[in-house]
Amino acid sequence: MTAFKLLALDLDGTTVNHDMEVSPRVLRAVQEAMARGVLVTIATGRNVPSTRPFARRFNVNAPVICQQGGVIYDYRAETALLRISLPHALTCELLALEGQHPEWRAVMYQDDRIFVTDGEYFRDLDKLVGFAPIVVSDLCAALDGRDADKLLFAVEPDDAPRALAHLQALVGDRATVVQSHARFVEVNPLGADKGSALRWLAERLGVPREQVMAIGDQGNDATMVAWAGFGVAMANGNQATQAVADWIAPSIEEDGAAIAIERFVLGETG
């Protein structure tokens, strides 16, 4: 069995359930891995402030991948090691879609702040998009002429495939479009994906690819699951991510992430 030295964990749908909780079994497995010398990072679409509670919860011992790879942040040093932005002109072009498609609600990320135009709509989603979004009437104006970190559209689950296809066709090769949740389609800067970020972090930490294990569930996790020496997809996850995985873990309800860590990192059986 390969001795893994770096473990990358997605949050929502992989290690964090619908109630925003981490199960005791998952937490135990992660802590035991670190006790054995494994470096653990989080790889999430969340921004730095909304990832912080989970970084503390797991007490991760490596820098964390935020905003789908657009930011790599070291909480111990309180500094960003890498930051990639979404061009201002493209962001404003895409923000106009909220007027054309009012059923798609835009969420704009900039400098660890989150902006929306409809605070009431996001009242029940704030824990997913990030805490305390700032409500403004004009998202493009809120950029103040500067680039965004990323852009997210909240949609109804059955409309997500249409939104994903529309945004991919519109954006082309100017940015990366992924579905990160049943209700979220994101536009991220070129080069801002979890696979590229995990490669960058592994190189910085001096860990070879074959000693990296990654666990995720949605389409935004596919690049890191594919790049890792051993990629794990959750049974409750996206088919595209499962297709590039080396192993399919049980669902989050069955503590699938913990089972994967116990079996392949800790060498436990049964």
Within a domain: 161: yes
Alpha-carbon distance 44 to 57, whole Å? 15
Element (DSSP H or E) covering residue 233: strand 230-234
Within a domain: 166: yes
Give the model's pLDDT for residue 119. 82
Q: Specify burial of residue 44 (Cβ count, 10 A radius: 0-12, 13-18, 19+).
A: buried
Domain identity same for 213 and 171? no
pLDDT per position in the chain (270 positions), as tens?
Answer: 569 999 999 999 999 998 899 999 999 999 999 999 999 999 999 999 999 999 999 999 999 999 999 999 999 999 999 999 999 999 999 999 999 999 999 999 998 888 999 888 787 766 667 667 899 999 999 999 999 999 999 999 999 999 999 999 999 999 999 998 888 999 999 999 999 999 999 999 999 999 999 999 999 999 999 999 999 999 999 899 999 999 999 999 999 999 999 999 999 876
Give the model's pLDDT for residue 151. 95
Domain identity same for 17 and 58? yes
Residues in the chain: 270
Within a domain: 270: no
Domain identity same for 17 and 68? yes
Give the position of tokens 């994903």. 164
Alpha-carbon distance 63 to 111, whole Å? 18
Number of domains in the chain: 2
Alpha-carbon distance 47 to 99, whole Å? 25
Domain identity same for 144 and 182? yes
> What predicted TM-score, i.e. pTM, was given to this entire model?
0.86
CATH of the domain at 34: 3.40.50.1000
58, 41 Cβ separation under 8 angstroms: no
Give the model's pLDDT for residue 234. 98
